[in-house]
């Protein structure tokens, strides 16, 4: 299989990309028993440095995901950090990358297996999208975000993404860029791989953590940057679908997508149909902090080289 990376990490070793394999009978392939993280490494060409953004928070969530899915104890934070840094160094990346850190049930067990826990890490070049401010069209999906007492919504369990996949496919086939999922109470939850914010009457508003959303790290970053850079406090509460249409600005955010403006919902323009001012300001600060061009929040950036 062709890849833009030479190496991957699997179970304690840096291996050639094509050798990073799992047996077809493992519980991860039989039942999707895995959890993962999506992390970004930002290349700062002036410093000739790659910064892993919010690695500590990603490792916390990775541990929480494994605990919630009752996985046996796996490698420590230090071992995982070492593995990730070694992989980025082995691939000698001088570019921004997207990293997947995966824990999965390997071996030959059945649905109740809690180990052996396999660990795999991949990193592939993926440019930051923060430079472009094209607005996305969103569809309110007919799929509902699964509630937390059906699937563990607040963690990154692989099987959760069947729900995300169905909503994404529906949106794409209907000609939209992104799906927005309501929860089973009919309130806004999130998009398949991002959390949603709106700006209304000068307030920044986002669904609260008990609306069946992933405990998103970018969501926390946005809340913090809005407060520290713009004095804007975020209200975390239930959001009705029609509020999105009345909003002045809507954007969605996640590690991979970063911050992206949404300019229409169900083909109805949001505000004046253009990416909003506050959205653009947040995008700029986010990009500068993540790449280290803005020196604030140094603890959020783990250097690789």
| Nearer CB in complex with ligand PMP: 218/302 | 218
For the CB of residue 58, give the shortest distance to ligand PMP in the complex, in Å.
7
HSE-up of 245 (CA within 13 Å, CB side)? 9
HSE-up of 190 (CA within 13 Å, CB side)? 26
For the CB of residue 156, give the shortest distance to ligand PMP in the complex, in Å.
6
Q: Taking CB under 6 A as the rule, does residue 193 contact ligand PMP?
A: yes
Q: Extract the tokens encoding 49.
A: 């440095």
For the CB of residue 259, give the shortest distance to ligand PMP in the complex, in Å.
10
Strand partners, 209: none
Cα dihedral: 293, 297, 302, 303 (round 10): 30
User: What are the backbone angles phi and psi of residue 14, rounded to the nearest 5°?
Assistant: -85, 120
Q: Taking CB under 6 A as the rule, does residue 211 contact ligand PMP?
A: no
Separation CA 175–CA 305 (nearest Å): 42
Q: Which residue stretch of 121-129, 186-194, 204-212, 295-303 sits at the interface with ligand PMP (rule: CB under 6 A)?
A: 186-194
For the CB of residue 217, give the shortest distance to ligand PMP in the complex, in Å.
4
With CB under 6 A, what is the number of residues at the site for ligand PMP? Answer: 13
Distances (CA, A) of 218 to 115, 193, 245, 256: 30, 11, 23, 10
Q: Which residue stretch of 85-93, 131-139, 209-217, 260-268 sits at the interface with ligand PMP (rule: CB under 6 A)?
A: 209-217
Q: Taking CB under 6 A as the rule, does residue 255 contact ligand PMP?
A: yes
For the CB of residue 178, give the shortest distance to ligand PMP in the complex, in Å.
12
| Nearer CB in complex with ligand PMP: 249/258 | 258
| Nearer CB in complex with ligand PMP: 28/113 | 28
Q: Taking CB under 6 A as the rule, does residue 218 contact ligand PMP?
A: yes
User: What are the backbone angles phi and psi of residue 276, rounded to the nearest 5°?
Assistant: -75, 160
Q: Taking CB under 6 A as the rule, does residue 195 contact ligand PMP?
A: yes
Q: Pick from 55, 119, 198, 214 the residue near ligand PMP by CB under 6 A.
A: 214
| Nearer CB in complex with ligand PMP: 145/278 | 145
With beta carbons less than 8 A apart as the criterion, state whether 100 and 62 touch.
no
| Nearer CB in complex with ligand PMP: 113/282 | 282
Give the footprint of ligand PMP on residues 26-65 (CB under 6 A). 38
Active site residue 156: yes
Q: Taking CB under 6 A as the rule, does residue 254 contact ligand PMP?
A: yes
Q: Active site residue: 156, 187, 278, 293, which one?
A: 156
Q: Pick from 190, 212, 249, 258 the residue near ligand PMP by CB under 6 A.
A: 190
With beta carbons less than 8 A apart as the criterion, state whether 276 and 248 touch.
yes
Separation CA 267–CA 209 (nearest Å): 28
Radius of gyration of the chain from its Cα atoms, rounded to whole angstroms: 19
Distances (CA, A) of 155 to 123, 147, 212, 228: 21, 12, 10, 27
What angle do helix axes 277-291 and 217-230 make, rounded to 10 degrees? 110
- Give the residue numbers marked as catalytic: 156
Q: Which spans of this chain sit near ligand PMP (rule: CB under 6 A)?
A: 38, 164, 190, 193-195, 214, 216-219, 254-255
């Amino acid at each position: 299989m062709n890849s833009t990376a030479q190496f991957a990490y699997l179970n304690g070793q840096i291996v050639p990309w094509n050798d990073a394999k799992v047996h077809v009978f493992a519980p991860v392939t039989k039942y999707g028993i895995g959890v993962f993280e999506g992390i970004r490494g930002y290349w700062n060409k002036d410093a000739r440095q790659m910064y892993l953004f919010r690695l500590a928070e990603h490792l916390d969530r990775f541990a929480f995901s494994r605990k919630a899915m009752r996985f046996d104890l796996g490698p420590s934070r230090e071992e995982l950090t070492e593995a990730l840094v070694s992989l980025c160094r082995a691939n000698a990346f001088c570019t921004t990358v997207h990293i997947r850190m995966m824990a999965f049930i390997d071996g030959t067990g059945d649905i109740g297996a809690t180990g052996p826990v396999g660990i795999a890490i991949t990193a592939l070049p993926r440019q930051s999208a923060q430079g472009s401010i094209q607005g996305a069209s969103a569809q309110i999906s007919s799929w509902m975000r699964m509630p937390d007492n059906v699937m563990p919504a607040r963690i990154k369990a692989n099987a959760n993404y069947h729900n995300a996949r169905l909503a994404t496919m529906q949106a794409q086939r209907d000609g939209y860029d992104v799906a927005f999922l309501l929860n089973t109470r009919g309130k806004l939850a999130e998009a398949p791989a991002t959390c949603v914010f709106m700006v209304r009457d000068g307030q920044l508003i986002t669904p609260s953590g008990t609306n069946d959303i992933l405990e998103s790290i970018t969501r926390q970053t946005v809340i913090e940057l809005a407060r520290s850079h713009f004095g804007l406090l975020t209200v975390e509460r239930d959001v009705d679908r029609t509020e999105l249409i009345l909003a002045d600005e809507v954007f969605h955010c996640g590690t991979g997508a970063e911050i992206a403006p949404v300019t229409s919902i169900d083909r109805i323009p949001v505000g004046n149909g253009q990416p909003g001012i506050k959205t653009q300001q947040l995008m700029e600060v986010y990009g500068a902090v993540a790449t280290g061009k803005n020196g604030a929040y140094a603890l959020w950036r783990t250097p690789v080289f």
